[in-house]
Structure 1
Amino acid sequence: MILNIKEIFTAAMVLFAVIDMIGNIPIIIDLRSKVGIIQSERASIVAGIIMIVFLFLGKSILNLIGIDVNSFAVAGSLILFFLALEMILGITLYKEDSTTPNTASVFPLAFPLIAGPGSLTTILSLRAEYETINIVIAIIINIIFMYIVLKTSEKIEKFIGENGISIIRKVFGVILLAISVKLFASNIMGLFN
């Protein structure tokens, strides 16, 4: 277990880009208008637990079904690539189920909006390259940030505005695209060794 500030920062930024809490503010506001109050604490804690449990058990689950971490990381890099394209181009490649929930704290907010396929794949992809403790710290940083965003989503939307949210999504989309290419390049070699 080696604490590495660079790894923590990179993992936190990757998760921040994938989870896209700023870009999800309009969705959060829409959910709040449909279901009333969103329990920010509950949503953040449940999402954090899902991500940390997947960090530790995801590899075992993969081994159980006969998939190595490099293969999963390559697949994850492709998902990140398409998520980045969605963010940059403003298109939707993946459509969520559009049923209206009774409560939005756990479903669809904690899962799959925050701890969804993109973030879970990213966590395992990061595990192929970084120390586990650094990823846990990065997850906790993102949980704290999620909680703050959930608590202040309406104020943030008014302050940043639609154009600001759009610019932030595009910037993080480009960062995510570069990270997905790096992740693909570093793990594709592992498949052939």
Structure 2
Amino acid sequence: METSFWSATVLLILITDPLGNIPLFITALKQVRPERRRRVVLRECLIAFAVLLIFLFFGRHFLELMQLSDESLRVAGGVILFLIALKMIFPGEESAFSGKSQGEPFIVPIAIPLIAGPSAMATVLLLSTREPARMLEWTGALTITMLVSTTVFLASGRLQKLLGEPVISALERLMGLVLTAISIEMLMGGVAAYLKKLG
């Protein structure tokens, strides 16, 4: 299945899940003074963007060094996305962000893993290894994704009040459902490619 620019963008937005992460984001910023929150949001989003760009451009060389195949990455990416999707559809009561926030967050937990989590890293790795000639498109898709995430997080307080917890929860489950289908497609594609190579 060929990935288009817009399907890659939608996939990355679904994986980073900015709407679903609003409650966790607000919790992580509880101890930050209101006048500093905008600066913290921009800094953390830039850090996450830089981390994902590193994975996009240099992850392929790491995979070659580790002698990992494209098929194994597709299967692993499908499994990771499936687990993330299940958590979005059936969220648990406990969360890594449910405890008290300790001062101003730096890198952890907002940049990593809230934005640039394992699933986002695996996805950009997959895009770059499958079609390395389209790196400019993948960079554009990642840039749009980070702009969406930054915009949502900057407006997180207003969005939470406007939409309310039930609507945000419903949107997260809907995104999880779409992501489940994408992960299954990715998993089946990886298995099919591996079986074709064996044949």
TM-score range, shorter chain: 0.7 to 0.9
Q: Which residue matches 1:34?
A: 31
User: TM-score, normalized by length of structure 2?
Assistant: 0.85
How far did 1:132 drift? 2.3
Q: Do the aligned residues in 1 keep the contact of 2:57 with 2:128 (CA within 8 Å)? A: no
Q: Distance in 2 between matches of 1:119 and 1:95?
A: 19
Q: Do the aligned residues in 2 keep the contact of 1:44 with 1:147 (CA within 8 Å)? A: yes
- The residue type paired with residue 153 of structure 2 is L
Secondary structure at the residue paired with 2:92? coil
How far did 1:149 drift? 1.3
How far did 1:185 drift? 1.4
Q: Distance in 1 between matches of 2:137 and 2:188?
A: 22
Q: Do the aligned residues in 2 keep the contact of 1:73 with 1:128 (CA within 8 Å)? A: no
How far did 1:184 drift? 1.1
How far did 1:89 drift? 2.0
- The residue type paired with residue 123 of structure 1 is V
- The residue type paired with residue 174 of structure 1 is L
Q: Do the aligned residues in 1 keep the contact of 2:18 with 2:149 (CA within 8 Å)? A: yes
Which runs of 5 or more residues in structure 1 are unaligned?
A: none
Q: Distance in 2 between matches of 1:135 and 1:105?
A: 27
How far did 1:129 drift? 4.4
Q: Do the aligned residues in 2 keep the contact of 1:55 with 1:123 (CA within 8 Å)? A: yes
Q: Distance in 1 between matches of 2:145 and 2:172?
A: 16
Q: Which residue matches 1:109?
A: 110
Structure 1 residues 30 and 88: CA distance shift in structure 2, 3 A: same
Q: Distance in 1 between matches of 2:95 and 2:75?
A: 22
Secondary structure at the residue paired with 1:13? helix
Question: Residue deviations 1:67-92, cap 9 Å, x none?
Answer: 12221121010010111111112237
Q: Which residue matches 1:21?
A: 18
- The residue type paired with residue 103 of structure 1 is E
Give the RMSD, CA atoms, in angstroms.
2.2
How far did 1:128 drift? 4.5
Q: Which residue matches 1:162?
A: 165
Which runs of 5 or more residues in structure 2 are unaligned?
A: none
Q: Distance in 1 between matches of 2:100 and 2:56?
A: 29
Corresponding pairs, count: 188
Give the stretch that moved more between structures: 6-15 or 97-106. Answer: 97-106
- The residue type paired with residue 12 of structure 2 is L
Q: Distance in 1 between matches of 2:111 and 2:143?
A: 14
Q: Do the aligned residues in 2 keep the contact of 1:70 with 1:188 (CA within 8 Å)? A: yes
- The residue type paired with residue 23 of structure 2 is P
Q: Name segments (4+ residues, structure 1) moved above 4 Å.
A: 97-101
Q: Which residue matches 1:137?
A: 140
- The residue type paired with residue 11 of structure 2 is V
Secondary structure at the residue paired with 1:91? coil
Answer with 1 or 2: which has the greater Rg: 2
Q: Which residue matches 1:186?
A: 189
Q: Do the aligned residues in 1 keep the contact of 2:74 with 2:190 (CA within 8 Å)? A: yes
User: TM-score, normalized by length of structure 1?
Assistant: 0.88
Give the stretch that moved more between structures: 59-68 or 100-109. Answer: 100-109
How far did 1:35 drift? 3.3
Question: Residue deviations 1:143-184, cap 9 Å, x none?
Answer: 111111121110010111111101111111111011111111
Q: Which residue matches 1:44?
A: 45
Give the stretch that moved more between structures: 11-20 or 102-111. Answer: 102-111
